[in-house]
Structure 1
Amino acid sequence: MEWQLIAKDFANCDGALCDIYVQDASVDDWQAVIDSLRQSKFRLELQINGQVTELPRDVSKLLFRDPSVSCPSMYVHIGSTTLNCHFFTAEEIEFDLNPRDMQPELLPDVLSFLKLLGRATSKPVILTVENTPEAAIMRFEPTNSEVEYVGPAYSS
Structure 2
Amino acid sequence: MPDLLWDDVKNFFDPNLMGALPDVWVPDASVEDWQAVFDLVQSSGWQWDYREDDTIRPLPLAAEVLPRPADAEESVSLYVRPVPGVLMIFRAMSATEIDFDLDLRELQGQAGVDILCDFVCVLGRRLGKPVLMGAEGQYGYPLLGFDPAADRVVLLADPVDLGI
TM-score of Structure 1 vs Structure 2, range by shorter chain: 0.7 to 0.9
Name the TM-score, length of structure 1 as normaliser. Answer: 0.87
Residue 101 of structure 2 is matched in structure 1 by 96
Residue 74 of structure 2 is matched in structure 1 by 70
Q: Does 1:87 align with 2:80?
A: no
**1:91-146 Cα shifts (integer Å, max 9, x gaps):** 11011111222212222221111112211211111111124244323111112211
Give the one of 129, 136, 141 matched to 1:135.
141
User: 1:23-42 counterparts in 2 under 5 A?
Assistant: 23-42=27-46
Q: Distance in 1 between matches of 2:123 and 2:108?
A: 21
Change (3 A) 1:46 1:101: same
Change (3 A) 1:141 1:48: same
Q: Show structure 1 runs of 5+ residues with no match.
A: none
**1:40-59 Cα shifts (integer Å, max 9, x gaps):** 13211111131111112x11
Change (3 A) 1:111 1:63: same
Q: Does 1:123 align with 2:129?
A: yes
User: 1:9-28 counterparts in 2 under 5 A?
Assistant: 9-11=12-14, 12-13=16-17, 15-28=19-32
Name the TM-score, length of structure 2 as normaliser. Answer: 0.83
Q: Does 1:154 align with 2:158?
A: no
Shift of 1:69: 4.9
CA RMSD of the aligned region, Å? 2.2
Q: Show structure 2 runs of 5+ residues with no match.
A: none
* Amino acid across the alignment from 1:4: D
Q: Which runs of 4+ in 1 moved over 4 A?
A: 65-69
**1:24-68 Cα shifts (integer Å, max 9, x gaps):** 111111111211122213211111131111112x11212246765
In the alignment of these two chains, the number of paired residues is: 155
Higher strand share goes to which structure? 1
